[in-house]
Structure 1
Amino acid sequence: MPSRAAFVAILVAVVLWGLAPVATRYLVLTADPLGVLGIRFLLCSLCYLPVLPWLRLGDVRWNRGTLGLLAACGIIGVVGYNVPMTLGIRDVHAGFAGILLSTEPLWIALLSVVVLRQRLTAPLAWGLAVAFTGVVTLSVGNGLTVSTSMFGGAALVLLGAFMWGAYSVAVGPLVRRYGALRVSAVTMWIGTVPLLAICLPGMLSTSLGTTGWVVLFLYGLGPNLVGMLLWNYGLSRVPGPQAGLLLNLYPVVSVTGGVTLLGEPLTMTTLVGGLVVLVGLLLSQDNRVSRALVPRRRSPGQARPADAPPQC
């Protein structure tokens, strides 16, 4: 029977991830968005250095294909996800962004069908349709039809969610072969290099107050390091379907954090649209995305793709 500590660990990880859009929204409204992003990932990448001796990178035989896939995952997961999400969240509320980011499991499932040739089943098709309806409801209700900036912001956040889905599908084989900690550290370092090149001008001009620096420091350590460690600990003791259900709390935490910490309005349209998105997620997953997907062909030794948790 799974321990209570494991469930608590997963719940805390989901709360940390759900608060990530709130922290991002607060920071980008007070400082240069790319500057804040660059400082955060510089901090995150440095935090992986103490575990370098245990990674034993020199003992791994990296072939050209593996290095290319690692580089692609690092750029997609760090730059491809975080840059559009950070720029987009300037123009949408944190709660709205959290709901849009909660579509990540749908992108993972859809890309698994397209890239990994898994079968598109009725639960996934219905889930995609219902979740898309929820996104449209949110968009119209939040004025996206008359506000170009909000439309662009929502599109950028959705692009970030799609990029994280692409990262999650691509990184699965690497994690299974080389381990989660080693792949996480290497992709973080690879992706941070081009990110710093993009963000360097903003980093040099970033000016934050005491509260801003505290939020940035906690944001850098919380979701990326503490959240991931708690999630992995919980998954080692809690069955995947049960842990996956807790991911649906992600947008609930984002909306609650936006309302209570940032004073964002809570409209009926936000509640209805968010509920529709959650229903779509539950329909598509059938308690888990992987259960709504049936492989066309799978060799006896081939594992299913890892269902990666949300990124911050």
Structure 2
Amino acid sequence: MPSRVAFAAILVAVVLWGLAPVATRYLVLNADPLGVLGIRFALCSLAYLPVLPWLRLGTAEWHRRSWWLLAACGIVGVVGYNVPMTLGIRDVHAGFAGILLSTEPLWIALLSVVVLKHRLTAPLAWGLAVAFAGVVTLSVGNGLAVSASMFGGAALVLLGAFMWGAYSVAVGPLVRRYGALRVSAVTMWIGTVPLLVICAPGMLSTSLDATGWLVLFLYGLGPNLVGMLLWNFGLSRVPGPRAGLLLNLYPVVSVAGGVTLLDEPLTLTTLLGGLIVLVGLLLSQLRSGSGAASEEPAKPARPPATR
């Protein structure tokens, strides 16, 4: 059975990420979206500098092939996820962005089957189906204002969700080999370099009040630093599809945060959708006759350097 500590780490990461659309929407409505994004990741990258001496980056254990995968994970996880999500959330409510981002478990499950040859158990498949039904219910109950800009924003947020699914599948072998802290730091630094190039003009013109700067600081250290560490730690001990199921809590947290902090609408249908999502999560944790082994790859997933 996967470690309870690992599940708890993933759960805390998901709660932090569920609040991220709330913080992002607050910030992008008050400042340049890319400028805020660049400052946030600059803070995160600086926060990792104290661990640099313990990473042993120049040693032989960091294989050349692993560096290619680390670079891909850094670009996909930092730039590929955050840029479209930040730009898209200008045109959708925080709660609806959370709903769209909760498609991440579907991308993780599908990519795990295709790339890592995972086999989905019946409870996990049912859990995905029921949780997705809850996501649809949340969407219907969230009072969407249909417009061209909303569709464009939704498409960008969905692209970010796919990118995070790809990152989660690719980073698993790396965190099992090198550890969550080392991989989190390296991928953060690699991904932040091109991000700062993209965001530099907006960073120079960003202006926020005291509350905005506090939100930006907490957002950077919460979801991006602590959340990334906890997620990578959890992925080193929990199969990707099962870990991804917990991402279905994303819209529940986002809708609650949007209602509480941004005065976004709340309906009975929204509450029902959140309940269905929770039922789906419970179903996914049931054990099938074949046991948890069926969630693992048919063949051990090794880092690229050992193939």
Give aligned pairs, total. Answer: 298
The residue matched to 2:119 in structure 1 has which SS?
A: strand
TM-score, length-scaled by structure 1: 0.79
1:296–1:175 CA distance, 2 compared to 1 (3 A): closer
The Cα of 1:228 is off from its aligned counterpart by 4.7
Deviations 1:128-169 (A, max 9, x none): 444444444444554658322222322322221221111011
Answer yes or no: is the 8 Å Cα contact 1:145–1:151 preserved in 2.
no
SS in 2 for 1:30: coil
Which residue is 2:95 aligned to? Answer: 95
Residue 231 of structure 1, CA deviation: 6.6
Find the counterpart in structure 1 of residue 266 from structure 2. Answer: 266
Structure 1 residues 227-246: aligned runs within 5 Å = 227-228=227-228
**Aligned counterpart, 2:68:** 68
The match for 2:122 is 122
AA of the residue aligned to 2:79: V
Residues 173-192 of structure 1: CA deviation (Å, up to 9, x unaligned): 11111221111111111111
> In the alignment, what sits opposite 2:171?
171
In 1, distance between residues paired with 2:286 and 2:195?
A: 37
User: Cα deviation per residue 1:35-70 (whole Å; 9 max; x = unaligned)?
Assistant: 111110111111111111111111244444222111
Q: Is the 8 A contact 2:12 2:227 kept in 1?
A: yes
Report the TM-score when normalising by structure 2.
0.81
Give, in whole Å, the separation in 2 of the partners of 1:156 and 1:53.
Answer: 38
Once the two structures are superposed, residues 216-267 of structure 1 have per-residue CA deviations (whole angstroms, 9 ceiling, x without a partner) of: 01111122223455678899999x9999887655433322211111111112
Letter in 1 for 2:30: T
CA RMSD of aligned residues (A): 3.8
**Structure 1 unmatched ranges of 5 or more:** 305-312
AA aligned opposite 2:187: T
Residue of structure 2 equivalent to 1:159: 159
Shift in Å, 1:278: 4.2
CA–CA distance in 1 between the matches of 2:154 and 2:50?
A: 37
Query: Partners of 2:205 and 2:34 in 1: how far apart?
Result: 10
Aligned residue number for residue 47 of structure 1 = 47
Bigger Cα displacement from structure 2, 80-89 vs 248-257: 248-257
Kindly state the Cα deviation for residue 210 of structure 1 after the two structures are TM-superposed.
Answer: 1.2
Matches within 5 A, 1:1-312: 13-142=13-142, 146-228=146-228, 249-284=249-284, 286=286, 291=292, 293-295=294-296, 297-299=298-300
Distance in 1 (CA, whole Å) between partners of 2:299 and 2:218 is 42
| Alpha-carbon distance, 1:81 to partner | 0.8
Tell me the secondary structure at the aligned position of residue 58 of structure 2: helix
Paired amino acid for 2:251: P
Q: Which runs of 5+ in 2 are unaligned?
A: none
Instruction: Give the conservation status (yes or no) of the 8 Å contact 2:125–2:284.
Output: yes
Residues 172 and 236 of structure 2 are in contact (CA less than 8 Å); yes or no, is this contact kept in structure 1?
no
